[in-house]
Amino acid sequence: MILRKSAPELALMERAGQIVARANTAVREALRPGMTTADLDRIAEDVIVGEGAVPSFKGYHGFPATLCTSRNQEIVHGIPSRDVVLDEGDVISVDCGAIWEGFHGDSAMSLVVGGDEAATDEVRDLLQVTRDALWSGIRAATVGNRLGDIGAAVQAHADARGYGLVREYVGHGVGRALHEAPSVPNYGRAGKGLKLAEGLVIAIEPMFNLGTAETVQLDDGWTVVTADGSLSAHWEHTIAVTPDGPKVLTARDDDEAYLGLLAA
């Protein structure tokens, strides 16, 4: 069942989304070589708890942390650890969720440790194209469009570059549950699928790999890696479908240029 949100519910969801945005911004600003992924987790949790909110992921099906931190060939659901020390040039995907008044926000970003200069052009492109794909998907999330329009918009970016597009993990509805109907695949055919209506809130979250699309889950029961060990990128926002266009509930300061395009 798809639960569309009322205006008061959307206001609570925007608050949840902005708490996630603050947590991710704090992580982005603190990120340095030599930090551990447990350090990043602490930073995000301090922001969320400091805002009077609750981490979405901690305890979710037994997940032990506030963030998912996925490094290099890890695609999603990496577990923060004191043993994972970040090196300059590593790609770290940070996924964060928070609950405010019973509603979730969910957002992810992939960053280069030490800044973009520390990465090769190939890696920078992977991160940039995956982020561009997210925003193309967001732009397609308008009243009257269909889920397939979002998937097709995202997929076009991966296809154009020959990236491996992860299919086993997809976007989703967001609300009082972290994962609600509908599933929001990062592939599809324009004009097909569920019609998007006012009040629908979804997370769009492309995961692109430099190599194969094939994934493997590690023995920890969580961490998902690329089958060929190639690098992976993951960007995600929680958005509401509104009569005025898509509203990005988890938007951050560093999204300003994309938000400008959305408004244009």
> Closest separation between CB of residue 136 and Mg ion, Å?
18
The residue (of 32 and 62) whose beta carbon lies closer to Mg ion is 62
> Closest separation between CB of residue 162 and Mg ion, Å?
25
Q: Please give the DSSP secondary-structure letter assigned to residue 126.
A: H
The residue (of 77 and 146) whose beta carbon lies closer to Mg ion is 77
> Closest separation between CB of residue 121 and Mg ion, Å?
27
> CA gyration radius for the chain?
17
Are residues 69 and 108 in contact, defined by beta-carbon separation less than 8 angstroms? no
The residue (of 41 and 236) whose beta carbon lies closer to Mg ion is 236
CA dist., res. 64 & res. 29, Å (int):
24
Instruction: Give the list of residues 6+ apart from residue 170 with CB closer than 8 angstroms, or none.
Output: 183, 184, 185, 186, 205
Are residues 99 and 16 in contact, defined by beta-carbon separation less than 8 angstroms? yes
Separation in Å, CA 78 to CA 74, 153, 241? 7, 27, 30
CA dist., res. 112 & res. 93, Å (int):
9
The residue (of 48 and 244) whose beta carbon lies closer to Mg ion is 48
> Closest separation between CB of residue 169 and Mg ion, Å?
9
> Closest separation between CB of residue 176 and Mg ion, Å?
15
CA dist., res. 141 & res. 242, Å (int):
9
> Closest separation between CB of residue 98 and Mg ion, Å?
11
The residue (of 9 and 236) whose beta carbon lies closer to Mg ion is 236
CA angle 192, 163, 115 (to 5 degrees): 120
The residue (of 193 and 206) whose beta carbon lies closer to Mg ion is 206
CA dist., res. 195 & res. 77, Å (int):
30
Footprint on this chain of Mg ion (rule: CB under 5 A)? 95, 106, 108, 203, 236
